[in-house]
Amino acid sequence: MFSPTSEQPRAVTASIVVLGVVAAGAALAYTRPVMVPFVLALFLSYLVTPLVDFLQGRLRIPKFVSILIALLAAVGLLSLLAVLIITSTRGLMASVDIYRDRLTEIATSVATLMYDWNLLRGEMGDSADYLLEAINQLPLLRLVQNAAGTAVGILTNGGLVVIFLIYLLGGRRMTEHRTGIYAEIHAKIQNFIVTKFVISATTGVFVGIILSLFGLDLALVFGVMAFLLNFIPSIGSVISTLLPLPIAIIQFDSVWAITAIVALPGVVQMIIGNGVEPLVMGESLDLHPITIILSLIFWGLLWGIVGMFLATPIMAVLRIVMARFESTKPFAEILAGRLPVSTRRPA
């Protein structure tokens, strides 16, 4: 058996780790207004760095001009997201009364059907009238405005993101040659971020096109959501597939149209997620589903909805880094769902 003293270093190490996580969490929550734009800028820097290197190395364009072109590309991407969200939200706000009337019709039809089946009588029947009245009193316009305000508020942080991005790109040297473990970490992180971004963008474009062909309201926003949620393995694709369902039920009368609006994007998610992505990315995220769920909760509590979108990429990057050092490799194995096996034998 192990002696009590042999377990003391492990207990001390575990206590220090717990205290460190708590302190880091408090610091990240306190510095949220600055850290969220910085992390976004850090991920963006990995995306635009290949463009800067190509312009400088292959086309011999000066560093300042190369960085300016990369910044314009990043600002253009953020502006495109803002335009898509604002335009679609305005269209939804203009149709709020139509949605309320359609929702009332659906509730009336369901209540009538339940009456015919003798499922609503007496007090239960009166509750149906209360349901219709509650629908008429729904603050749909305020909910839409709040959602739009949240989305626009996130995008308005783009100015701070661009400032951080300027410093990150400006302080980087193209001629800097990384070797050893740091070169491997840098290459794996950049490959993961760039590949994941391209695959997620492709998924969002296909989903947006399919929903637009059906004439679904907010089709472009659902495409953007499919792009963002694709950064969350498994769970994200299911959520993005089901998100258009309430709008489809309210907007369309045809069961086939509603089914197709859910099924076709689901097929796209399956083909890209289970076929194309493993083939292109090679090494998977290697994160256990429990790790993903806990990371969503942790980063969501710290940084809100932006933290939930960044949770999986952040944990994937942490696992890549920790797996390359012997001292932190056990933590990387835990994130992957593999408990480290002790090689010590009982005395």
Query: b/e per residue, 297-313, with b = 16+ CB within 10 A?
Result: ebbbebbeebbbbbbbb
**What's the rounded Cα separation, in Å, for the pair 93 and 106?**
20
Q: Which two tokens stand for residue 186?
A: 């840098």
Give the residue carrying structure tokens 């190509």. 54
The 10s digit of each residue's pLDDT in 143-190 is 555 555 555 555 566 778 888 888 888 877 655 556 666 777 777 778
The 10s digit of each residue's pLDDT in 42-86 is 888 888 888 888 888 788 888 888 888 888 888 887 777 777 766
**What's the rounded Cα separation, in Å, for the pair 131 and 111?**
9
Q: Which two tokens stand for residue 249?
A: 């039920």
The 10s digit of each residue's pLDDT in 270-314 is 888 877 777 776 555 677 778 888 888 888 888 887 788 788 888
The 10s digit of each residue's pLDDT in 199-208 is 888 999 999 9
Give 168 or 218, the one with higher predicted confidence. Answer: 168
The 10s digit of each residue's pLDDT in 239-270 is 888 888 888 887 887 889 889 999 999 999 88
Q: Where are the domains of the chain?
A: 30-176
φ/ψ of 324, rounded to 5, equals: -95, 0
pLDDT at 209: 93
pTM passes above 0.85: no
